[in-house]
Chains A and B, each alone.
Chain A
Amino acid sequence: MNNNVRDSSIEPCSNNDREFVLDASKRAFIRAAGMLVAGMMLPQVHADETRLAEASSDEKVVIVIIGGVRRIETFSLEGLENIPHLFSDLLPKSLFYPHARNEGVTAHFNAISSILTGNWQRVDDWGKLAPATPTLFEQYRKRRGADRSDTWVVASNKALTSLIGASSASGYGPAYGANVVFPKQLMLMAIADALRTGRTANMVDRNNVELELESAMEGNNYEGLGWNVFDAVDRLDPRVESSIKTAVASFVHSGGPTSGDELTFFMSREVMRKFSPRVLVVVFSDVEAAHFGSYALYQAGIRTADRLTYQMWNEIENNEGYRGKTTMVILPEFGRDPDGSSTNGFFNHRANEDSTRDTWMMSLGSAIDKPQIIERPIRHIDLCPTLGGLLGCNGADMQGKCLTEFRR
């Protein structure tokens, strides 16, 4: 076994790992390790199934990106209460990297485009410039001749634009890009319309909220929404219309919370059910309420992301089109600044500190032979070449390196 690789063995922590929960407390460590051992049975069977799937070249990947969350509110002793599903339900069957570093620009567009291209991107912070090197979507579609309906981005984050779906690299670009949908923008547009036309009373009644959302959807400002679905930015492609209506209805009538991430989840689930894309990227960003200085809302955002990520995994397990042939990867864009920093702590993500740069990454599913905790630090840009290998579209000229623990 590689010195950097520890599976179910319990070893004392190094100084660098002192914040990581499995090292920080013997009791928690033993508990997690116990679950890890228990979980080793299931994924082995799972892995056998997926080898069959590999033969059919049917591999799919789902990347769940959560906005900026610090280790101290997630995989630390005090953070565990915020992530019951990630810790108790998913960690025991996962390949887990406690140290996944963002060494690039810790702003949303650059962070996400770095993950999706395998290169540290340094473009306009507000999404006015496309990534400079090809995204996973473009590499996959070009190499495998895949249809646009095979690649999707569904995101809550307002800092993104449809340019996240394709790069400006020559030989690639929008012709090979992903469908991009920002469901939260639809809700914001509905609210703005209601406010402008004096219909805010509609926001009180669920049926009327649904009507407002459908009304917003039937407008023609899809570019304004940041949407790029099947090459259309000025009209909604009929193929996607019913999916959006179903997602909206689920969101409105679920009786559950009604945050932007909830709507993003329902939309992602509908996209999975209707289009069964090979590459799906979901971006949750309720945690970004932290920018407004409410720690309670930030913490609530983490708990929402934890629950929705688990629901996403359950969808994969229960959806015929995904079960047994899907690798799901979960990682934050970055952390947030440490308490006491000159950048105002959890509010922001600008500090050149481990609290901001050192996050974690969890992988589940068909590319994972056995649950492991890999303490060797990895970089966010290592994910793209790794998944490219899984999808049979290894790209050239990437700063990132393949993670050897993934089955290839």
Chain B
Amino acid sequence: MTATNSLPDDLQAALDKGLLKRFPLTFLPFINQQLREWQFLFPNERRSVARLLFYVASLNEEQSSVLFHDVRAVEEKMGVRHWQLSTSEQTIQNSSELARSPYFQEWRSAVQTVFDAADKHEVNARETTKRQNRLVLLDIPQSLPIQAQDAWKRWGNIGRTVTLSFDSSEQMHSPMGFLLSNQRGPTSSDSSGLLEARNHLVSAADIWIVDAGRSVIDAVLATESSTTDPARAILLSYNRLDAYRQAFSHEMNSMRKDLADADAVFARMRKLDVIPWCPPEVAADPAVREFLRSLYLSGNGAVIFGNSFVEWAASEAFRRARPHFLAASFGLRSKPKPFTSVAVFENPDQVNPLPAVDDLTGSALDAQVLSLYVWLAASRYEEYQHSTICVCLAESIAQAYIVAPPECSLLTEQGPIPLDRMRDALVTWMN
């Protein structure tokens, strides 16, 4: 991802005039951290921080005082001034103080009101911006057994089930790989794959591919290496990140059960040079390296299970980068082993020499739930609510579940849909 590393001049000028003095104490950890890590932010995040700061800068003293009145009132009730609050960055200690305050929900609500005001101001200013179509492509691979009768029950009635037809062994072997590739199919109108349907996108952060294993990313990289272009998408493979993940886990396990120690360990881990642990497609991009660092530090199983990594990486990608196209492929984990399964270890094969046994049904259930979670994570944001197609493939039953706006041609298809026709429709949508 190419982006400038320094703050925009107008933003710096506003800060130099003392803009941050207008903000309540509890805003400062977030803002200061974002400003300090500007070079690691995705374009969407930069816009978001700038939106808030420029909005406050546009207000006079009295107006900003009114804007923050409720937050300051809650801070007073919480006794924030007496806390050991870090104003330079968000810490676990800060979060702990906030979360156990009886006024926590009131504070959250007051903070949200401020962000809403900034967002509303921005929306009013860009009402004429053209909306771009987006795509979320999810894949539950062939190896995971899905029961056709209840494959999509968790999705309710938000979309429709379609049957897929495969015209070649390549399609049948890896439907996801086919959709991403530019292999020509018998009913293709052209040979464009979904990764070619992106020339109008301006940043690598517009396209994300997240893989619970490595085969999908390996295939994409094989295609990319035949061109001279720099990486044009953010590629995250759980297995290709083994070294990064394991090194991080090792550091995290040194942490004692103590908030101060947790913050100390986290501070140390934020400074670790992670480049030696990164595969080339990650090492080359500071924002992606830091994205992963943050992902691993924020928990949610990303260092433990490939499917959790996929779900959490995709959710964070939506929150932070708002990509136009995100593809996520789930995978297989092992069954818990006798005795050592009293705890979930990131290195089960080290703590128990019994051979790993694939948990096919458990992995399939995980993937079914987490694929829905990926879509739910996207649909929280306005950008994905009206012009996004979500396709979830269940390869083992040759079905897909499609959530889409009414104008999506796939919604009116009758009978099994050839995979190349699905790809054409999605490419057309993205273009």
Chain A interface residues toward B at CB < 8 A: 105, 107, 110, 120, 122-128, 158, 161, 184, 187-188, 191, 194-195, 200-201, 203-204, 209, 252, 258-260, 263, 289, 291-297, 299-300, 339-340, 342, 344-348, 350, 352
1/0 per residue B92-119: CB within 8 Å of A? Answer: 0000100111100100100000000000
B356 to chain A, nearest CB (A): 13
Contact check: which of B336, B337, B354, B373 meets A297 at CB < 8 Å? Answer: B336
With A105-B99, A122-B101, A126-B259 known to touch, is A296 a contact of B299 (CB < 8 Å)?
Answer: no
Please name 17 pairs of A and B residues whose Cβ atoms are closer than 8 Å in the assembled complex, sorted by A.
A125-B100, A126-B258, A128-B258, A187-B339, A195-B350, A204-B354, A258-B338, A259-B341, A292-B344, A293-B302, A293-B308, A293-B311, A296-B361, A296-B365, A299-B365, A340-B376, A347-B308
Residue of B nearest to A192 (CB): B351
Bound complex: CA A384 to CA B293 (Å): 43
**In contact, B101 and A125 (Cβ under 8 angstroms):** no
A392 to chain B, nearest CB (A): 32
**In contact, B373 and A184 (Cβ under 8 angstroms):** no
Residue B312 CB within 8 A of the other chain? yes
Residue of A nearest to B256 (CB): A126
Bound complex: CA A263 to CA B342 (Å): 9
With A195-B350, A293-B308 known to touch, is A124 a contact of B96 (CB < 8 Å)?
Answer: yes
Contact check: which of A126, A252, A344, A352 meets B373 at CB < 8 Å? Answer: A344
Tell me which residues from 359 to 392 in chain B have a Cβ below 8 Å from any Cβ of chain A. Answer: 359, 361-363, 365-366, 368-370, 372-373, 376-377, 379-380
Contact check: which of B312, B333, B338 meets A294 at CB < 8 Å? Answer: B333
Given A107-B99, A339-B372, A352-B108, 8 extra CB contacts under 8 A: A122-B102, A125-B259, A126-B259, A259-B342, A293-B302, A293-B366, A299-B365, A348-B300
Residue of B nearest to A120 (CB): B102
B137 to chain A, nearest CB (A): 20
**In contact, A293 and B257 (Cβ under 8 angstroms):** no
Contact check: which of A259, A299, A342, A347 meets B380 at CB < 8 Å? Answer: A342
Contacts of A126 in B (CB 8 A): 257-259
**In contact, A339 and B351 (Cβ under 8 angstroms):** no
Residue B315 CB within 8 A of the other chain? yes
**In contact, B339 and A209 (Cβ under 8 angstroms):** yes
**9 smallest A-B Cβ distances: which pairs?**
A293-B308, A293-B301, A296-B362, A292-B301, A340-B376, A295-B369, A260-B342, A296-B365, A187-B342
Residue of A nearest to B259 (CB): A126
Bound complex: CA A292 to CA B348 (Å): 14
**In contact, A184 and B300 (Cβ under 8 angstroms):** no
**In contact, A344 and B259 (Cβ under 8 angstroms):** no
Residue of A nearest to B380 (CB): A342
Contacts of B376 in A (CB 8 A): 339-340, 345
Contacts of A200 in B (CB 8 A): 350-353
Contacts of A291 in B (CB 8 A): 299-301
Chain B interface residues toward A at CB < 8 A: 96, 99-102, 105, 108, 154, 257-259, 299-302, 304-305, 307-308, 311-312, 315, 333, 336-344, 350-354, 359, 361-363, 365-366, 368-370, 372-373, 376-377, 379-380
Contacts of A294 in B (CB 8 A): 301, 305, 307-308, 333, 362, 366
Contact check: which of B301, B340, B350 meets A347 at CB < 8 Å? Answer: B301
Contact check: which of B258, B353, B359, B379 meets A204 at CB < 8 Å? Answer: B353
Contact check: which of A127, A296, A300 meets B363 at CB < 8 Å? Answer: A296
B351 to chain A, nearest CB (A): 6
**In contact, A289 and B354 (Cβ under 8 angstroms):** no
**In contact, A293 and B340 (Cβ under 8 angstroms):** no
Bound complex: CA A347 to CA B376 (Å): 14
**In contact, B100 and A184 (Cβ under 8 angstroms):** no
Contact check: which of A110, A127, A209, A297 meets B100 at CB < 8 Å? Answer: A110
B346 to chain A, nearest CB (A): 9
Residue of B nearest to A350 (CB): B99
Contacts of B337 in A (CB 8 A): 203
Contact check: which of B96, B311, B344 meets A289 at CB < 8 Å? Answer: B344
With A260-B342, A344-B373 known to touch, is A124 a contact of B311 (CB < 8 Å)?
Answer: no
Contacts of A289 in B (CB 8 A): 344
Residue of B nearest to A194 (CB): B351
Contacts of B354 in A (CB 8 A): 203-204
Bound complex: CA A39 to CA B292 (Å): 55
**In contact, B351 and A191 (Cβ under 8 angstroms):** yes
Contacts of A204 in B (CB 8 A): 352-354
Residue of B nearest to A352 (CB): B105
Residue of A nearest to B105 (CB): A352
Residue of A nearest to B337 (CB): A203
Contacts of A184 in B (CB 8 A): 342-343
**In contact, B351 and A344 (Cβ under 8 angstroms):** no
**In contact, A125 and B340 (Cβ under 8 angstroms):** no
Residue of B nearest to A226 (CB): B257
Bound complex: CA A195 to CA B346 (Å): 14
Contacts of B305 in A (CB 8 A): 292-294
- Most-contacted residue by chain A among B343, B351, B352 (CB, 10 A): B343
**In contact, B339 and A293 (Cβ under 8 angstroms):** no
Contact check: which of A120, A203, A292 meets B304 at CB < 8 Å? Answer: A292
Contacts of B102 in A (CB 8 A): 120, 122
A203 to chain B, nearest CB (A): 5
**In contact, A258 and B339 (Cβ under 8 angstroms):** yes
A293 to chain B, nearest CB (A): 3
Contact check: which of B96, B99, B300, B341 meets A293 at CB < 8 Å? Answer: B300
Bound complex: CA A120 to CA B101 (Å): 11
Bound complex: CA A398 to CA B165 (Å): 65
Bound complex: CA A203 to CA B337 (Å): 9
Contacts of B342 in A (CB 8 A): 184, 187-188, 191, 258-260, 263
Residue of A nearest to B338 (CB): A258
Contacts of A120 in B (CB 8 A): 102
